[in-house]
Amino acid sequence: MADKRFFANSGPCTLGDIAVRIGATLAPGVDGARKLLSVASLEVAGSDDLSFLDNPKYVSQFETTEAGACIVHPRFADRAPARIALLLSEQPYRAYALAAQMFYPDATKGTDTFGEAARIDPRAAVHPTAKLGAGVTVEPGVSIGAHAEIGDRTIIGANASIGKACTIGKDCSIGSNVTISHAHIGDRVMLHPGVGIGQDGFGFAMGLPRHEKVPQLGRVIIQDDVEIGANSTVDRGAGPDTVIGEGTKIDNLVQIGHNVEIGRHCIIVAQTGIAGSAKLGDFVVLAAQVGVAGHLTINSGAQVAARGGVVHDVPAGQQYGGAPARPISEWRREIVELRKLGRRPKPSGDGAT
């Protein structure tokens, strides 16, 4: 259940309004005027809550839930308790996400984590040449450098640092202790606490008598609707820019090296590392702890399984796994054969006692 001390509830919402918003169909006999107060998981939902069933693993919880209403695929409708109101959807999880946004809109923007809105705290240091749009919030300890520009309604969390000449668009959420330098950021971008944007790329001319630092002269360009998780880092380019495409979602503890180009609507999961000058197409998925070598291309629609080590280009739309990463069917066959090999009986001895 959502704790009211942290999350502002915009309910109640009627079943009819919810159905329209999420593109679901009310089951026969369901009263569209009935109001619900919140959303909750199957096991804790009460009679005024909306829940959902997406994974068949939780059908038993669905059969005993106390929820007042539930979003469910039509194939599971006959497993519902008799008293529950059903909203039928081919994509229950996506539908639930849209419904939850109705009740808790701030939770999708990051604004629910901040304090008072639309004020510049006197304990912040804002350079006189910086430009702040209408309705900007700047929390205590923030530093905003010369000629920086912050768009309307953006929120800058406590102790964040915005470097000189950086630009941040409208309706962004910049978490506490975020550092931004050498970067231009679009609209509706969410950076969670501790994110580092625009620091030096890891560039050195190695050799004797010492490793010489290569000046990193590029920028970071983050397009609209990107979200970057806590303590992730995005290095600025060495000459070309580091670019993160529109709608891409990056989990916590991800490292993105200099000159990397990430396409639109990619998903990059926790502890993944992408080395310099690698390129990702659109809608690429990298699962947890994937490592991507530098100067290669993962083409649009490709997916790499957790802990994969990508050392060659990945064709568009293909699924890869393993280290080194190869087509996932090949990787799975190898795992099966290795398991069989490990289960073989040990060879008998030579008969000596």
DSSP collapsed to 3 states, 241-295:
CEEECCCCEECCCCEECCCCEECCCCEECCCCEECCCCEECCCCEECCCCEECCC
**Cα distances (angstroms) measured from residue 82 to each of 30, 63, 88, 90, 104:** 12, 9, 15, 21, 28
Predicted confidence (pLDDT) at residue 352 exceeds the cutoff of 60:
no
Query: Can you give the pLDDT at residue 213?
Result: 95
Given the residues 184, 258, 265, 312, select the one marked as catalytic. 258
The answer to whether 295 is a known catalytic residue is no
CB neighbour list of residue 289: distance below 8 Å, 6 or more residues apart: 270, 271, 272, 306, 307
pLDDT in tens, 63-101: 999 999 999 999 999 999 989 999 999 999 999 999 999
Residues forming a β-bridge with 50: 39, 69
Q: What is the pLDDT of residues 322-341, one digit of tens each?
A: 999 999 999 999 999 988 88
What pLDDT score was predicted for residue 148? Answer: 98
Q: Judge contact between 283 and 263, C-beta under 8 A.
A: yes
Q: Which two three-digit tokens encode residue 125?
A: 């240091």
Q: Which domains does the chain have, with CATH numbers?
A: 13-108 (3.40.1390.10), 110-177 (no CATH), 203-333 (2.160.10.10)
pTM of structure? 0.91
Q: Average pLDDT of 102-113?
A: 87
Q: What is the pLDDT of residue 351?
A: 55
pLDDT of residue 329: 95
